[in-house]
Amino acid sequence: MKRYFPILSWAPSYGRATFEADLVAAVIVTIMLIPQSLAYALLAGLPAEVGLYASIAPLVVYTVFGTSRALAVGPVAVASLMTAAAVGEIAAKGTPEYLGAAIALAFLSGLMLLAMGVMRLGFIASFLSHPVISGFISASGILIAASQIKHLLGVSASGKTLPEILGSLWHNIGGINPFTLIIGIAATAFLFWSRKGLKPVLQNLGLSARLAGLLVRAAPVVAVFLTIAVTWLFGLEGRGVHVVGEVPRGLPVPALPPLDLGLWASLALPALLISIVGYVETISVAQTLAAKRRQRIDPDQELVALGGANLAASFSGGFPVTGGFARSVVNFDAGAETPAAGAFTAIGMALATLLLTPALYYLPQATLAATIITAVLSLVDLRAIGHTWAYSKGDAAAMVATIVVTLVSGVETGISAGVGLSILLHLWRSSRPHYAVLGQVPGTEHFRNIRRHRGIEVPEVLSIRVDESLWFPNARFLEDTIYGHVAADPAIRHVVLNCPAINFIDASALEALEAVNAQLKDSGVKLHLSEVKGPVMDHLVRSDLITHLGGQVYLTHFDALSALAPARTRETLELPRCETAR
């Protein structure tokens, strides 16, 4: 029961001290979440209240099903951008169909995550390599920031790719609204300054470093209140400053997502991509925070919890949610000890929805854009390209390709290309494993790579060690390699495959070995195996390979050579040892 309802593992022992810690964290996260939830709804092209709705029910569901003590779920930047991209294909912004499609997207994403969780497919996150996900998030950050510039300038612009967005901005640059521009620049400057400059100021006022650090997170709310006040006082709405406008007061009414199979079919792929990206983000932050306190999370249960949160978002009129990085870190730093902090945040957001919505009428969209821009630019990490390049050129190339494709073709193509590239790179590496031709080290029973050590070979015996499990990506490589050596040296009568590094042989590699064995037999060469691991041998005896093997299976490679070339092997054993590299 505790496995499926992790709440049961902490709720029974819930005490006053934990309650207080969770409550403090919840208050701080709520203050941070109010402007963010509005801003990300705007980014997704949805009415502001949808962001509030997506920050209530999903948090309660995560409290029940989540295994991370500190994860804060809700609307996040990248998922909001992906929502806008997916839903924008199907309906026009501002229409009921657009909202319906966003709700259906949360529903599908929830179903998929839940299904993957029940089938324990947490490994699905391994479809994305770190460099690719990092490149994708950087590129998304740039795209998001670019898409918000129009709100800072008060012009209209559109586009799903960087060239489109910049072109559209350039085209409409003439329509800049000076009041919007002033609010936008001021809010952005204040928010950027607050990230570094506000904390020392607060500390100088006598606040503790920790409290000052947490109060910095309230800077967006300060910006929100100040700009609401200015807009209202000076009547800027009448001067062309776009405001959030009427936000319906009251909690969301539970409802079903649109039941339209055609709509679901066209949203299936975006839903899958949002699910995977959201899950990777969630699991990364959850794991990082859990490790800091030597706690455990269950990756498969996290799929269930995130799936449930998205279904809850959908049923309460929200859009796709995931675990947010910055928000979870704030929750953790503010001292959240259990997922109850999430439930308290939900209460805070519900109160905000009930009480604060009238005040939001005069909130300038430029302020929300400033909030988004400051939040997402911290996601952009282009220096990672250099680090990755220094370590692995292949990984760095995949990263750059993901960034470029995302910027010029949009998020869906970008992340799809990233998944494809990750897998391609992995298959390419798997397809050419390290292998060594072995020679006997004089004076010993050891065999080493003759290219790295002085080793003595026996002309009629080819000794090969493959340093990798054998499976379909390298099955052909194995055949190629063995046939290549045998074709190049007509003296060879025996091939001994040294297997200490082989942990697994799949059906493709088994067939390749059977083919090698049969072909070598035809041309008068025997295939032998040495040092096969126990579990691999357990598997092999169930196949025809061992029955039809031209040669033998030897316990050690020395045994093999002693049997196949006894005179030469013994002679080498008696040579003086000399391990200088060639």
Q: Which of residues 6-45 bind its own copies (CB under 8 A)?
A: none
Angstrom distances, CA of residue 48 to CA of 121, 180, 253, 254, 497: 34, 19, 16, 18, 65
- Residue among 411 and 512 whose Cβ is closer to its own copies: 512
Instruction: Scan residues 296-335 and list those touching its own copies (CB under 8 A).
Output: 296, 299
Task: Please give the radius of gyration of the chain, using alpha carbons only, rounded to the nearest integer.
Answer: 31
- Give the binding range for its own copies (CB under 8 A) out of 4-12, 104-112, 211-219, 507-515: 507-515
Judged by CB under 8 A, the chain residues 117 through 156 that form the site for its own copies are 123, 125-131
Measured CA to CA, the distance from residue 75 to residue 314 in angstroms comes to: 12
Is residue 161 involved in binding its own copies (CB under 8 A)?
Answer: no
Can you read off the two tokens belonging to residue 188?
Answer: 């952005």
Residues 385-414 that bind its own copies (CB under 8 A): 387-388, 390-392, 394-396
Cα four-point dihedral sign 521, 523, 529, 535: negative
Where does this chain touch its own copies (CB under 8 A) — which range of 215-223, 252-260, 261-269, 295-303?
295-303
Which residue in 59, 290, 341, 349 binds its own copies (CB under 8 A)? 290
Binding flag, residue 571, its own copies (CB under 8 A):
no
With both helix axes pointing from N to C terminus, report the angle between 365-377 and 77-88 in degrees, rounded to the nearest 10: 120
| CA nearest to 325, candidates 139, 197, 137, 199 | 137
One-letter amino acid for residue 358 of the chain: P
Q: Return the range that interacts with its own copies (CB under 8 A); candidates 39-47, 78-86, 293-301, 569-577.
A: 293-301
Q: How far apart are the first and last CA of the chain?
A: 62
Residue 479: CB minimum distance to its own copies, A: 6
Site for its own copies in 471-500 (CB under 8 A): 471-477, 479-480, 483-484, 486-487, 490
Q: Buried b / exposed e across 207-242, counting CB within 10 Å, b at 16+? A: eeeeebbbbbbbbbbbbbeebbebbeeeebbeeebb
Distances (CA, A) of 132 to 135, 146, 331: 5, 21, 27
Q: Minimum Å distance from CB 10 to its own copies?
A: 15
Q: From the CB of 424, what's the least distance to its own copies, in Å?
A: 9
CA angle, corner 211, sides to 210 and 216, nearest 5? 100
Binding residues among 218-237 for its own copies as defined by CB under 8 A: none
Q: Tokens standing for 196? A: 């570094």
Query: How does 114-149 read in b/e, with b if 16+ C-beta sit within 10 Å?
Result: bebbeeeebebbebbbebbbbbbbbbbbbbbbbbbb
**Minimum CB separation from its own copies for residue 497, in Å?**
16
By CB under 8 A, tell whether 249 contacts its own copies: no
Exactly one of 409, 508, 552, 556 binds its own copies (CB under 8 A); that residue is 508
Q: Does 3 bind its own copies (CB under 8 A)?
A: no
* Shortest distance (Å) from residue 137 CB to its own copies: 13
**Burial of 203: CB neighbours in 10 Å, binned 0-12, 13-18, 19+:** middle
Nearer to its own copies, 106 or 425 (CB): 425
> Tokens for 266?
């066209």
CB nearer to its own copies: pick between 242 and 429:
429
Residues 6+ apart with CB under 8 A from 81: 43, 44, 140, 143, 144, 147, 411
Residue number, 246 or 467, with CB nearest to its own copies = 467
Q: How many residues bind its own copies (CB under 8 A)?
A: 78
Which of the residues 331 through 390 are near its own copies (CB under 8 A)? 387-388, 390
> Which residues in 517-546 contact its own copies (CB under 8 A)?
519-520, 522-523, 534-535, 539, 542-544
Closest approach, Cβ 20 to its own copies, in A, equals 24
- Dihedral sign computed on CA atoms, order 533, 539, 542, 543: negative
Distance CA 105, CA 127 (A): 21
| 279 forms part of the interface with its own copies (CB under 8 A) | no
Q: Report the residue from 168, 172, 203, 287 that binds its own copies according to the rule CB under 8 A.
A: 287
Q: Which helix (H) or strand (E) holds 74?
A: strand 73-74
Smallest CA-to-CA distance from 184 within 376, 363, 380 is with 363
- Choose the binding region for its own copies from 21-29, 142-150, 501-509, 572-580 (rule: CB under 8 A): 501-509
69 SS3 class: coil
Q: Of the listed pieces 86-94, 202-210, 270-278, 513-521, which binds its own copies according to CB under 8 A? A: 513-521
DSSP 438-495: EEEPTTSS-EEETTTS--B--TTEEEEEE-S-B-HHHHHHHHHHHHHHHHH-TT--EE
For residue 515, state whether it binds its own copies (rule: CB under 8 A).
yes
The region of 74-82, 191-199, 308-316, 423-431 touching its own copies under the rule CB under 8 A is: 423-431
Cβ proximity to its own copies: between 287 and 409 the closer is 287
Nearer to its own copies, 210 or 293 (CB): 293
Q: Is position 460 an interface residue for its own copies (rule: CB under 8 A)?
A: no
Per CB under 8 A, the segment of 4-12, 82-90, 155-163, 465-473 that binds its own copies is: 465-473
